[in-house]
Chain A
Amino acid sequence: MGKLGLVLVLVVGVVQIVWAKEVVVITKKDVQEMRRLTPAFFEPTQKALIQRIIETKVLAREALKEGVTCTKAKDAIGLEKELILTNCYLKKKLNELGLKKGAVQSYYLTHKDRFGRLPLEKVREWIRNRILRVKMDWFRREEFKRIKDRYEVKVCLSGGC
């Protein structure tokens, strides 16, 4: 092999290392665990469960990479730990983004009757949490879409992956 060949092999190797996707493996055990962790009334399909597991595992990896710390995740294991980590990661991101000016006020003005004479400070906090809870749902999907290309997902439900 000439010098050119050697250089080519080196370049290909470096490119592969740099662009290599991290592999995420989904097993039957994950599906069982996610079914156990999902409230029964949701009755998710197998496809929906797997999608949720993929999102959770990918986002949890991202959380670890970014050094997200989570006291609740300390004693948890397996998928439960990854779910908690994912939530902490998304909360951190949402807090960094903050809410649009007027979000809490506009919610209050359109749902005023609901709050009666509750103290304004409590109402404000409740609305903020409500907005964040709803936002978390679509934000999780968008965040997953943003980073999914960095990972290669292998679904191995019957072994042999």
Chain B
Amino acid sequence: MSKWWLLVVVFLAVGCSGIRHQIKVENQVELDKEFIRRVVSYWQNRYNLEVKSAFSQEAPYVQEMVSLEKYANYLKLYVKQTPILTKVSLKKVTKQNKSDVCLDVELFLRYKDKTVKRELEDCWLKLRKTWYHVLRNPLIFPELN
């Protein structure tokens, strides 16, 4: 009997420990692996509401001009129905320079009863060998323009 209890406790502990579920990555662009890892981890952080981690991946000027509190509220706005990010699909590079890249991305979000595809153009900036996300939402963050 005690073994069963132990098993239940372990099961619950693993379930509550915030272990990330596997995200499928579909890559149709020729960009380096480190960049792709960064993109996937960013979106995973956003949908897991790991606010500080996602915030630290935003471009440094964004981190200065937007308060963490406003950023957290913005992320919560997007995930209020707690979807699970199941797949990230990198479709096409729309702009590519030495220090910045924009690409079309599809995010597959699983809600309780359906899966929704969110399409967006995602831009990134390279500073001292690190890629940063460029936050663009003129309605919520007009101050960034």
A→B interface (CB under 8 Å): 99-107, 109-111, 127, 131, 134-135, 137-139, 141-142
In the complex, are the beta carbons of A110 and B125 less than 8 A apart? yes
CA distance A134 to B123 in the complex (A): 22
With known contacts A100-B64, A138-B70, A105–B100 Cβ distance under 8 A: no
Q: How many A-B residue pairs have CB under 8 A?
A: 56
In the complex, are the beta carbons of A135 and B65 less than 8 A apart? yes
Nearest CB of chain A from residue B64's CB, rounded to whole Å: 5
Q: Which residues of A contact B69 (CB under 8 A)?
A: 138, 142
Q: Does B67 contact A (CB under 8 A)?
A: yes
CA distance A101 to B60 in the complex (A): 7
| Pairs A–B under 8 Å by Cβ, sample size 23 | A99-B60, A99-B64, A100-B60, A100-B64, A101-B60, A102-B61, A102-B128, A103-B64, A106-B59, A106-B61, A106-B125, A107-B59, A109-B127, A110-B61, A110-B123, A110-B134, A131-B65, A134-B65, A135-B65, A138-B66, A138-B69, A138-B70, A141-B67
CA distance A71 to B66 in the complex (A): 30
**0 or 1 for each of B70-105: is its CB under 8 Å from A? (1 = yes):** 100000000000000000000000000001100000
Contact residues of A: prevailing secondary structure: helix
In the complex, are the beta carbons of A106 and B67 less than 8 A apart? no
Instruction: Give the most central of A110, A139, A142: most B CB within 10 Å.
Output: A110
In the complex, are the beta carbons of B67 and A109 less than 8 A apart? no
